[in-house]
């Protein structure tokens, strides 16, 4: 089309209308109070509402309360600077979920002086999600390096604590000839030294040093998972049978039975029946799923939850990946918590209940050990859903 022809084409209003109505982006106009005067058909395609549910309503009725201030700031800036402005906010889909939208708006004044806000908006949910996953993986890469380095530095002093405690015990034993000889040289009886230490509980103290050291070493070895990258030991596994086994394991776990009333929780299994075998490092994946199930059980224990507590385990095949979803209808979490749960030592639980390592280890095992993805959706007061995606053979 020549420039001249184009100009003629665009001058006609009906053609403008055609462009607007066929646009993938939402085109909208609002009065200066924010009431919606017009939305293009893309609104219904993207968000699902009938035009009658939208026209005449105030725009902010559809916006997440946390994002309304941002929109007001944008409109104020449009009016002040008389230029195009951009904002990103969450709008309500007809199914109740929130979608991230990015809008560009400007002000228009017609010949009679009537002012209108008009703009376009598109769905940015997917892009923002991918950005979040990328920041997440950079953050985790940095933390992994730190954790592995720290774990290594701590192992030597920890070894010294554990082993010297053991040396102390042995240096008062009469079984070792050198002890007997040294005791005779300084003129004490080893039996009496032994009896004294027993009476004053010193052997118990030494035992406690060792128990504490072994516990610390357990935490460190969890942290060292961060430097484990190989998928050594992976085998092809039938996912349904594997999940059944893990659920059974969860049911026999002492903590789960005693502290979290696991038997009270309804277990729903929705397994896909067309699942090909999946390549798993069995011990690692067991640890991941047990952590997630334990978290779910914990989220179903706190406070008085009126409903029937339930954990749903779902599998499906999508886009060359096998997906495992573990959903609970427990406490859920707010957005700030959700963004941090994969960080090592991030916990909202009381000291002694959680160390905050469960999900960070899960993250490493899934992403490094299985070249998979792990992600979470959650709604405060409603529940959480963890999704693990694992590459299927030949398509990784």
Ligand X SMILES: Nc1ncnc2c1ncn2[C@@H]1O[C@H](COP(=O)(O)OP(=O)(O)OP(=O)(O)O)[C@@H](O)[C@H]1O
Site residues for Mg ion per CB under 5 A: 295, 358
Distances (CA, A) of 381 to 267, 306, 317, 378: 20, 11, 29, 9
Instruction: Tell me how far, at minimum, the Cβ of 291 lies from Mg ion, in Å.
Output: 5
Of the listed pieces 20-28, 58-66, 206-214, 239-247, which binds another protein according to CB under 8 A?
206-214
228: contact with another protein by CB under 8 A: yes
How far is Cα 246 from Cα 329, in angstroms, rounded to an integer? Answer: 20
CA-based radius of gyration for the chain: 31
CB-CB neighbours of 365 under 10 Å = 25
Nearer to Mg ion among residue 53 and residue 375 (C-beta): 375
Q: Which of 120, 225, 295, 329 binds ligand X (CB under 6 A)?
A: 295
Q: Which stretch binds ligand X (CB under 6 A): 47-55, 87-95, 237-245, 326-334?
A: 326-334
Residue 312 engages ligand X in binding (rule: CB under 6 A): no
Cα–Cα dist 56/132, whole Å? 35
**Which CB, 220 or 321, lies closer to another protein?**
220
Residues 347-366 that bind ligand X (CB under 6 A): 347-349, 354-360
Shortest reach from residue 232's CB to another protein, in Å: 7
- Given a contact cutoff of 8 angstroms between Cβ atoms, the answer to whether 115 and 105 are in contact is no
Which residue's CB is nearer to ligand X, number 49 or number 368? 368
d(CA 162, CA 213): 6
Binding track, positions 131-160, relative to another protein; x by CB under 8 A: -----------------x--xx--xxxxxx
**b/e for 21-38, b at 16 or more Cβ within 10 A?**
eeeebbbbebeeebebee
Q: Which of 42, 299, 365, 366 binds ligand X (CB under 6 A)?
A: 299
Contact in structure between 179 and 171 (CB atoms under 8 Å) = yes
Residue of minimal CB distance from ligand X? Answer: 358
Q: Is the separation of the CB atoms in 154 and 220 below 8 Å?
A: yes
Contact 119, 40 (CB under 8 A): no
Nearest to 59 by CA among 86, 81, 85, 90: 90
| Minimum distance from residue 332 beta carbon to ligand X (Å) | 6
- CB of residue 213 to another protein, shortest distance in Å: 7
The residues of the shown chain that bind another protein, judged by CB under 8 A, are 148, 151-152, 155-164, 166-167, 170-171, 176, 178, 210, 213-214, 217, 221, 224, 227-228, 230, 232
The residues of the shown chain that bind ligand X, judged by CB under 6 A, are 291, 295-296, 299, 328, 330-333, 337, 341, 346-349, 354-360, 384
């Amino acid at each position: 089309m020549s420039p001249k022809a184009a100009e003629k084409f665009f001058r006609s209003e009906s053609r403008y209308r055609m462009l607007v109505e066929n646009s993938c982006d939402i085109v909208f106009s609002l009065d200066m109070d924010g009431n919606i005067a017009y939305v293009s058909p893309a609104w219904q395609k993207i968000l699902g509402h009938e035009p009658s549910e939208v026209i005449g309503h105030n725009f902010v009725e559809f916006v997440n309360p946390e994002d309304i201030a941002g929109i007001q700031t944008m409109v104020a800036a449009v009016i002040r600077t008389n230029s195009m402005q951009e904002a990103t906010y969450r709008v309500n889909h007809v199914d109740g979920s929130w979608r991230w939208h990015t809008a560009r708006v400007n002000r228009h004044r017609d010949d009679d002086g009537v002012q209108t806000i008009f703009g376009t908006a598109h769905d940015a949910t997917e892009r923002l999600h991918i950005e979040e996953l990328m920041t997440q993986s950079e953050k985790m890469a940095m933390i992994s390096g730190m954790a592995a380095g720290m774990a290594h530095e701590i192992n030597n002093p920890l070894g010294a604590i554990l082993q010297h405690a053991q040396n102390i015990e042995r240096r008062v034993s009469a079984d070792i000839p050198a002890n007997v000889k040294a005791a005779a040289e300084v003129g004490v009886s080893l039996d009496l030294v032994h009896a004294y230490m027993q009476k004053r509980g010193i052997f118990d103290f030494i035992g406690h040093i060792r128990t504490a050291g072994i516990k610390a070493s357990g935490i460190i070895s969890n942290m060292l998972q961060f430097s484990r990258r190989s998928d050594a030991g992976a085998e092809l596994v039938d996912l349904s049978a594997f999940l059944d086994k893990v659920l059974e394991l969860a049911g026999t776990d002492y903590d789960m039975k005693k502290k979290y009333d696991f038997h009270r929780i309804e277990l729903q299994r929705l397994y896909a029946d067309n699942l090909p075998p999946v390549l798993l490092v069995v011990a690692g994946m067991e640890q991941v799923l047990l952590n997630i199930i334990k978290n779910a059980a914990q989220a179903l224990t706190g406070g008085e939850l009126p409903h029937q507590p339930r954990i749903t385990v779902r599998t499906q095949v999508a886009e060359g990946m096998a997906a495992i979803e573990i959903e609970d209808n427990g406490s859920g979490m707010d957005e700030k918590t959700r963004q941090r749960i994969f960080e090592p030592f991030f916990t909202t639980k009381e000291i002694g209940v959680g160390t905050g390592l469960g999900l960070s280890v899960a993250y490493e095992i899934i992403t490094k050990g299985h070249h998979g993805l792990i992600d979470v959706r959650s709604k405060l007061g409603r529940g959480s859903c963890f999704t693990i995606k694992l590459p299927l053979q030949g398509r990784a």
